[in-house]
Amino acid sequence: MFSGKLRSALIIGGQGIRARKLRTFLSMVSLFLGVLAVVAVQAGAEIAERAMLTDVELQSGKDGTLMGYIPGEKGAPGIVEAMMKGRSDAVAMISSQAIIGEPGVKPINEGGMPFEYAGRGGDYNGPMMYCDSSGVCQEQKPQEKKPDGQAIEVSMVALTGDIRTFKPFRPVSGSWLDFGTAPSLAPRIVLNEEAAKGLRMFRIPGEMTIEGASHHLTPQIIGVVQDGNSSPRIYMRLDELRTWMPSAAESNDANRFRGGGTNLEVYLQPGSDDLQKLLQAKLAGAGVDPNQVHFQTVNSKERMESELKIMRLIFLGMAFLVLLIGVAGILNVGLATVGERVEEFALRRAVGMSRMLLAGIVLAETLLTGLLTAALAIGAGAAGLQVALMLFGGRFPSLQGTVFPWEAGMAGVIAGLIAGVLGGLIPAIRAARIPIATVMRA
């Protein structure tokens, strides 16, 4: 019974829309901007959330990743290296400092600082102190002064596998490290954008010095990636580094104080609790203090959720204000239409049409108008996004691969339905209250 009335209301409502094309068009124009604003805000919020999350993932890793920090001492680098070798569900990053350029000179960006700050620091010739983990402090001998030269200092990250499983580095040029081929005698390295900037700014010889290596290396630069790090970094395969540096340099309080030594980071896929426990047990057996081994699950989205929610609510509030203007427009048109169709509605009541069905006809017209407007607004939003990506996608790498979010389409449909109900409810009630006696005016 109800489905028959609903079907009748939709059919008669559609006929009313077709009979009054101009008024329907005016209603859609007044509503279009409101629905488009809702679609744009929802799409923008989804895209902004994904872009922010992707930028955070470059540094912290994807959500759910189990990340561990391990001190590079007491044989920990060798243990981690042996356990991570050949695994696809876990990757270790073994970091230390390297010099690219002339050997034996002072790097342009001493300490591996970003190049915009290079050369701004002053010299301090006073005593330098460092304290070990037990609290014992002693004076640090000043390092030998080196002549200025054409060299840059970078953070060298040796990888046991493809880190992009956990950190989605974005390619800028060239290619990434291929872990499926045999190790090369001339190590292949990938630069981050800051390291590439240094090589563009200065005339740097193609020689690399690593503390603990048997000889100076001549690396092959194969690509540049965006890794979200503001300091110069290079990435290379650990097995290619081991050709020149058989084992990692042990860290101690003194070289950590100077910014040197070996740093270990381990990335495990979700559900790798057994591997984590085994790694912790082996490190503890080697004498590494368990309190210095830290594991945590990456949960960046949850940390950003409150900020994103506030931003989304503010812009959705503004969009709904625009939508209310469209609702007011469709309400005015609906009331005017009901006023012109008083005799028609009275005649329908006289031949037996119920008040509920009469109200449903008027409401069906506004709902169909709202849905048609929503479809147009969603199409315009999707087309606008593609145009924006073509024009500005190259400037913002985080937008690469962006597609129109389905959440924005759903928001547009809901906004169209809400506008149809709000704009048609009062005219529908007014039409249902038209007395049968009004037919005598005709």
Domain boundaries of the chain, sorted by first residue:
2-58+302-441, 66-297
User: Facing residues of 95 across strands?
Assistant: 157, 263
157, 225 Cβ separation under 8 angstroms: no
> What was the pLDDT predicted at 1?
42
Separation of alpha carbons 270 and 66, rounded Å? 6
Show the low-confidence residues of the chain (pLDDT under 50).
Answer: 1-2, 122-126, 251-259
For 97, phi then psi, to 5°, come to: -95, 150
Report pLDDT digits (tens) over 354-371.
778 777 777 888 888 888
Separation of alpha carbons 389 and 172, rounded Å? 17
- Dihedral class, residue 417 (left if φ above 0, else alpha if ψ from -120 to 50, else beta): alpha
User: Facing residues of 96 across strands?
Assistant: 156
